[in-house]
Amino acid sequence: MSDSIRIKLPQERISSLKELQSLTKTQFNNISLLHLAFVHRSFANEDSDRYLSDNERLEFLGDSVLGILAAEFLYQSLPKGKEGKLARLKSKMVSAPAIAKLARSYRFPEFLLLGKGEKEKGESNTNLQADCFEAFLGALYLDQGLESCRKFLNPHFQIMEKGVEDAEETKDYKTILQEFCQKKWKKLPEYSVMKEEGPDHDKEFLVSVICENHFRATGDGKNKRRAEQMAAKSALRFLKIL
């Protein structure tokens, strides 16, 4: 494959890539592939005689690897999760800010090769960091397969999922909806439990919220409060407030 063409690397870069592997707890068979994952287009353009490629193709591949593994993780982690909830969680977990944060945790910006012009814009660029992380995943996939990518990502997914859930818990969608309904229609939204299933230690609630004939929305959660918050959030989205 074209991305695995061996590039003669200086010893300093080889040492740097060994440090990178130590940080990520990976061991690449083809270190040139790992190197290419950290070659930005701006850097390759400045040394076009030596570089026939950059990390954009690996980024394209890594984006798909990230997406399928995030979807798989959520599907298995939340067996009762509805499609809308899974999609919402996945969107936040694979967002540029979330992935850039992971890149920084492994010090990826330090290993990224940028052209002079791009460096002047700042190595702290969130999109650059996220793109680099996806390129790394693409390289890891080509070098070691999907299972290695899964082992690398799943511990992060567990933390990210909890973080997204906790953030939603702290946002009071019910209050936002109540204030909106009072102001617009002089009415309060009404909540009702539509379904309650599962054993006592692992219940799932489905709650609906209505405000006369203006709207109806539903939400689910591990307890009534959580389900009501999710129903209110769904209503706010329907009303185009979120």
Among 13-22, 71-80, 199-208, the range scoring the smallest mean pLDDT is 199-208
Q: What is the mean pLDDT of residues 123-141?
A: 91
Among 53-57, 104-108, 113-117, 207-211, the range scoring the smallest mean pLDDT is 113-117
Q: Which of 3, 63, 143, 168 is catalytic?
A: 63
Architecture of domain 2-169: Orthogonal Bundle (1.10)
pTM equals 0.70
Q: Which of 3, 134, 161, 168 is catalytic?
A: 134
Reported as a single tens digit per residue, the pLDDT across 142-167 is: 999 999 999 999 999 999 988 877 66
Whether residue 196 lies in the annotated active site: no
What integer pLDDT is reported at residue 134 of this predicted model?
Answer: 97
Confidence band of 5 (pLDDT split at 50, 70, 90): very low
* Average confidence score pLDDT of the chain: 89
Contact of 226 with 81, CB cutoff 8 Å: no
Contact of 173 with 233, CB cutoff 8 Å: yes
Same fold for the domain at 2-169 and the one at 171-238? no
Confidence band of 16 (pLDDT split at 50, 70, 90): very high
Structural domain spans, the chain = 2-169, 171-238
CA pseudo-torsion sign 137, 29, 37, 107:
positive
CA pseudo-torsion sign 78, 79, 82, 84:
positive
Residue 13 in this model has a pLDDT that exceeds 50: yes
pLDDT above 90: percentage of residues in the chain: 65
CA distance 53 to 38: 11
Residue 3 in this model has a pLDDT that exceeds 60: no
Contact of 56 with 79, CB cutoff 8 Å: no
131 is in an annotated binding site: yes
59 is in an annotated binding site: yes
> In terms of C-beta distances under 8 Å and separation of at least 24 residues, what long-range contacts does 215-224 make, across chains too?
215/239, 218/194, 220/80, 220/82, 220/85, 224/193
Confidence band of 141 (pLDDT split at 50, 70, 90): very high
Q: What is the mean pLDDT of residues 198-205?
A: 84
HEC profile for the chain? Answer: CHHHCCCCCCHHHHHHHHHHHHHHCCCCCCHHHHHHCCECHHHHHHCCCCCCCCCHHHHHHHHHHHHHHHHHHHHHHCCCCCHHHHHHHHHHHCCHHHHHHHHHHCCHHHHCECCHHHHHHCCCCHHHHHHHHHHHHHHHHHHHCHHHHHHHHHHHHHHHHHHHHHHHHHCCHHHHHHHHHHHHHCCCCEEEEEEEECCHHHCEEEEEEECCCCCEEEEEECCHHHHHHHHHHHHHHHCCCC
The interaxial angle of helices 173-185 and 224-238, nearest 10 deg, is 50
Q: What is the mean pLDDT of residues 56-84?
A: 93
Residue 10 in tokens: 């200086």
134 is in an annotated binding site: yes
Q: What are phi and psi of 53, to 5 degrees?
A: -150, 170
What integer pLDDT is reported at residue 4 of this predicted model?
Answer: 42
Contact of 228 with 207, CB cutoff 8 Å: yes
Contact of 31 with 14, CB cutoff 8 Å: yes
CATH number 3.30.160.20 given to 171-238: yes
Whether residue 63 lies in the annotated active site: yes
